[in-house]
Amino acid sequence: MRDKIYFASDFHLGSPSFETSRERENRIVRWLNFIEPDCSELFLMGDVFDFWFEYKYVVPKGFTRLLGKLAQMSDSGIKIYFFKGNHDMWVKDYFTKELGMQIVSDEMIIVRNGKKIYLHHGDGLGPGDAKYKFLRKIFRNPFCQWLFGMLPPRIGIGIANKWSTHSRAANHNDEVFLGEEKEWLAIYAKELLQKEHYDYFVFGHRHLPLTIKLNEHSTYINIGEWLKYNSYAVFDGNDLTLTYFEK
């Protein structure tokens, strides 16, 4: 029976090498096979790809095993959502047309079985990171995207791969827990809670699997990443919990 909802993010496929990425892709497909029997909805919450840019007539090479699996799941009636991450926000209609996935640009708030859940990749939220917040505006600007799309892919994707490596070196080296008071997505979630109740907040981006109790009735879960943790979250209708694949 399909009665569970799954959440995962930060596969960073394509990085850091073809071989390691292929290994990770195979693991993700094994995971999808594993969850498929009871999965009603699948939330892919950003940075599925280390870099994705969809040109008007062209998409990046690779990832055929994952894309094929997602197509098959979608065709079998599983609803799939694709959140834009900071590495793969340049999607247009290809995934929707080919895979039936719904693209989510920013936050998405869902209510399932009476539980209110706030979902976002996690980039550009909370205090700090002014530099990225500025860049995010440029990255998301339609005219800038159009200009970038005019570059031949061997130049555009070349630049992007350099950028992605740089950004990974700066941000994705063995993340360390800052403490519940300093985790910026926890701070952000607590701010939202002042105005409105949510049972759960689910974010990616942090590359650190976390479960933080924000108050008596509200929990922040960070779904981690798949380079090291193979972490994901599952909602069974009552509880939303963090768990690990092949660990």
The residues of the shown chain that bind Mn ion, judged by CB under 5 A, are 10, 47
Q: Which is nearer to Mn ion, 50 or 199 (CB)?
A: 50
CB of 82 to Mn ion, least distance (A): 14
CB of 135 to Mn ion, least distance (A): 15
Alpha helices in 2-129 (DSSP H): 18-35, 64-75, 94-99
CB of 231 to Mn ion, least distance (A): 13
Tokens found for residue 105: 């640009």
For residue 102, what is the DSSP state?
Answer: E
CB of 33 to Mn ion, least distance (A): 24
Which of 108, 112, 107 lies closest to 2 in space, CA to CA? 112
Residue nearest to Mn ion (CB): 47
Coil, strand or helix at 72:
helix
CB of 37 to Mn ion, least distance (A): 28
Which amino acid would we find at residue 41?
E
Beta strands in 105-168 (DSSP E): 108-112, 115-120
Q: Which is nearer to Mn ion, 47 or 199 (CB)?
A: 47
Q: Which is nearer to Mn ion, 10 or 25 (CB)?
A: 10
Distances (CA, A) of 49 to 66, 86, 135, 172: 11, 10, 19, 14
Q: Which is nearer to Mn ion, 47 or 183 (CB)?
A: 47
Q: Which is nearer to Mn ion, 17 or 238 (CB)?
A: 17
